[in-house]
């Protein structure tokens, strides 16, 4: 008798060259072997890239099951944290891939949070000019954002995501049960990205988040975020237009992360503070409906997220100049007309500085 599928939502990221599915559900990794069927010849080596925390909680069990079922899996276990998303981390993966004779018919599993997803994804993109990989995200942030869309990268010289590639996974497996072990701070960090999706694209999701602070239907919320992201990636895979809307909150968010030395502030926390700054700037420039920054701030607070940057926006300005989104003397910033309606605005550094000075 066939077992009922544990997948509650299956979405497709429909791309000209490389379409792939996102499977979402509780406990879907119990059928990981079945879900990976057809993606790799069981005789080929499979690398499971993960971090020590995820390995101890979920990875060892999953690897053992896959091995038992006939997949030739070898784990590569990295230290947890942003420092693994580095040139040294990349070299560790390349050495492991070489040792286990990974080839272009192999498969790489990126099993962990956004750090592992970005690192393993970039290693997959660059090793032998491209090895297929599957994203199996285990943080909320990675489930709603980092695992979808093929942005892969490492940090370099204190700059976030400085070296990377667009390289789409073959499949994304989102098992919401993995979130049961996630520390509250990490869960909240992911919720900041959820708020971001609502802010840029979905008033109804924003209302759902406001009304259900203590009883969110996470699988449904994750599916809505992935649907929004898939839609933006489909129309703008290379981030030259509408996909940039996903950067709402990131201009100042990245600066906050850098000011706090990448590891102290969680990515989602920084994005949350960055969204409030962006909304305040938009309101000041009369491009954003008044009260939007307050609505955002209240929602973030309800999810126990900080809303005020420890560094005044003026102090963060020098860090924007090195941001990938800044071109010469101006910067492309995502602003909101109102909740659910975002747009990209080219703003000169001079105008931005003036607005920030006037706001303070
Ligand atoms: P992370 O990968 O560092 O994970 C956070 C912590 O949670 C780690 O200590 C990890 O070991 C632990 N963890 C992971 N899963 C767990 C689980 N199920 N139970 C218990 N602990 C668990 O951080 P993150 O917030 O997932 O990702 C942040 C990274 O993602 C940043 O580097 C950011 O630049 C990147 N990112 C990339 C994209 C993209 O589109 N590629 C989008 C957003 C963010
Ligand atoms: N996280 C932003 C993007 O994928 O474009």
Q: Which of residues 8 and 58 earns the better pLDDT score?
A: 58
Ligand with minimal distance to 135 CA: 1
Looking at residue 259, its pLDDT comes to 86
Ligand 2 centroid to residue 238 C-alpha, Å: 10
Q: Would you state the torsion angle of the CA atoms of residues 81, 87, 92, 93, taken in this order, to the nearest 10 degrees?
A: 90
Q: In this structure, which residue's CA is closest to atom 3 in ligand 2?
A: 246
Q: In this structure, which residue's CA is closest to atom 43 in ligand 1?
A: 146
Span 172-208, pLDDT tens digits = 999 999 999 999 999 999 999 999 999 999 999 999 9
Atom of ligand 1 nearest to the CA of 137: 15
Residue 335 is given by DSSP the state E
Atom of ligand 1 nearest to the CA of 116: 2
Ligand 1 centroid to residue 102 C-alpha, Å: 25
CB environment 195-219: b (16+ within 10 A), e (fewer):
bbbbbbbbeebbebbeeeeeebebb
Ligand with minimal distance to 139 CA: 1
Ligand 2 pocket: which residues have CB below 6 Å? 145, 149, 151, 239, 243, 246
Q: Mean pLDDT over residues 280-290, rounded?
A: 97
pLDDT band at 5 (very low <50, low <70, confident <90, very high): confident
The packing angle between helices 349-359 and 267-284, to 10°, is: 90
Looking at residue 325, its pLDDT comes to 53
Span 114-155, pLDDT tens digits = 999 999 999 999 999 999 999 999 999 999 999 999 999 999
CA dist 180 → 57, 113, 138, 331 (Å): 10, 14, 10, 39
Ligand 1 centroid to residue 175 C-alpha, Å: 15
pLDDT band at 171 (very low <50, low <70, confident <90, very high): very high
Ligand 1 centroid to residue 49 C-alpha, Å: 13
Residue 247 has pLDDT above 80, yes or no: yes
Looking at residue 190, its pLDDT comes to 97
Residue 218 is given by DSSP the state H
Phi, psi of 7 (to 5 degrees): -80, 125
CA separation for the pair 95, 30 (Å, rounded): 30
Rg of the chain, C-alpha, whole Å: 20
Average pLDDT taken over every residue of the chain: 94
Looking at residue 279, its pLDDT comes to 98
Ligand 1 centroid to residue 191 C-alpha, Å: 13
CA separation for the pair 194, 216 (Å, rounded): 11
Helix (H, G, I), strand (E, B) or coil at 168: coil
Looking at residue 203, its pLDDT comes to 98
Strands 341-348 and 330-338: antiparallel
Looking at residue 329, its pLDDT comes to 84
Which two tokens mark 101?
A: 């004779």
Ligand 2 centroid to residue 255 C-alpha, Å: 16
CA separation for the pair 101, 134 (Å, rounded): 18
pLDDT band at 99 (very low <50, low <70, confident <90, very high): very high
pLDDT band at 106 (very low <50, low <70, confident <90, very high): very high
Ligand 1 pocket: which residues have CB below 6 Å? 51, 53-54, 57, 80-82, 85, 112-116, 118, 138-139, 141-142, 145-146, 149, 151, 160-161, 178, 181-182, 186, 189, 267
pLDDT band at 238 (very low <50, low <70, confident <90, very high): very high
pLDDT band at 4 (very low <50, low <70, confident <90, very high): low
CA separation for the pair 26, 219 (Å, rounded): 8
Q: Mutation test of ligand 1: which of 22, 142, 176, 323 has the most ligand atoms closer than 8 Å to its C-beta?
A: 142
Ligand with minimal distance to 243 CA: 2
pTM score, two decimals? Answer: 0.94
- Tell me if 48 sits within 8 A of 62, measured CB to CB: yes
Neighbours of 315 (CB within 10 A): 13
Q: In this structure, which residue's CA is closest to atom 33 in ligand 1?
A: 114
Span 53-74, pLDDT tens digits = 999 999 999 999 999 999 999 9
- Tell me if 314 sits within 8 A of 281, measured CB to CB: no
Residue 19 has pLDDT above 60, yes or no: yes
pLDDT band at 98 (very low <50, low <70, confident <90, very high): very high
- Tell me if 251 sits within 8 A of 274, measured CB to CB: yes
Residue 246 is given by DSSP the state G
In this prediction, what percent of the chain has a pLDDT beyond 90? Answer: 85
Ligand 1 centroid to residue 324 C-alpha, Å: 21
Q: Mutation test of ligand 2: which of 135, 239, 249, 324 has the most ligand atoms closer than 8 Å to its C-beta?
A: 239
Ligand 2 centroid to residue 120 C-alpha, Å: 16
Helix (H, G, I), strand (E, B) or coil at 266: coil
Looking at residue 319, its pLDDT comes to 86
Phi, psi of 307 (to 5 degrees): -120, -15
Task: Name the E strands within 118-170.
Answer: 133-137, 151-156, 159-166
In this prediction, what percent of the chain has a pLDDT beyond 70? Answer: 96
- Tell me if 335 sits within 8 A of 287, measured CB to CB: yes
pLDDT band at 93 (very low <50, low <70, confident <90, very high): very high
Separate counts of helices (H) and strands (E) for the chain: 14, 12
Ligand 1 centroid to residue 174 C-alpha, Å: 14
Atom of ligand 1 nearest to the CA of 149: 40
Which two tokens mark 258?
A: 């850098």
Residue 182 is given by DSSP the state S
């Amino acid at each position: 008798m066939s077992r009922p599928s544990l997948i509650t939502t299956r979405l497709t990221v429909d791309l000209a060259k490389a379409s792939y599915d996102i499977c979402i559900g509780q406990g879907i990794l119990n059928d990981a072997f079945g879900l990976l069927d057809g993606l790799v010849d069981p005789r080929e080596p499979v690398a499971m890239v993960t971090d020590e925390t995820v390995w101890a909680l979920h990875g060892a069990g999953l690897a053992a099951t896959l091995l038992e079922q006939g997949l030739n899996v070898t784990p590569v276990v990295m230290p947890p944290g942003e420092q693994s998303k580095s040139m040294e981390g990349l070299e560790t993966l390349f050495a492991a891939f070489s040792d286990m004779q990974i080839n272009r018919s192999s498969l790489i599993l990126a099993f962990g949070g956004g750090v592992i997803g970005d690192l393993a994804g970039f290693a997959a993109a660059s090793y032998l000019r491209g090895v297929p990989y599957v994203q199996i995200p285990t943080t909320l942030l990675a489930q709603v954002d980092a695992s979808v869309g093929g942005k892969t990268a490492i940090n370099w010289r204190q700059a976030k995501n400085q070296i990377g590639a667009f390289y789409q996974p073959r499949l994304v497996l989102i098992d919401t049960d993995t979130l049961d072990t996630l520390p509250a701070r990490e869960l909240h960090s992911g919720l900041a990205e959820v708020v971001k999706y609502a802010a840029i694209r979905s008033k109804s999701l924003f209302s759902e988040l406001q009304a259900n602070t203590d009883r969110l239907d996470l699988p449904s919320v994750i599916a809505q975020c992935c649907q929004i992201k898939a839609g933006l990636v489909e129309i703008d895979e290379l981030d030259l237009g509408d996909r940039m809307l996903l950067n709402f909150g990131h201009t100042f968010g990245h600066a906050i992360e850098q000011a706090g030395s990448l590891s102290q502030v969680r990515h989602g926390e920084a994005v949350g503070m960055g969204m409030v700054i962006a909304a305040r700037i938009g309101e000041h420039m009369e491009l954003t409906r008044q009260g939007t920054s307050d609505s955002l701030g209240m929602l973030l607070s309800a999810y126990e997220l900080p809303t005020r940057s420890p560094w005044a926006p003026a102090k963060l300005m020098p860090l924007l100049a090195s941001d990938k989104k800044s071109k010469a003397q101006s910067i492309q910033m995502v602003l909101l007309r109102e909740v659910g309606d975002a747009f990209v605005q080219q703003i000169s550094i001079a105008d931005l500085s003036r607005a920030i000075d006037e706001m303070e």
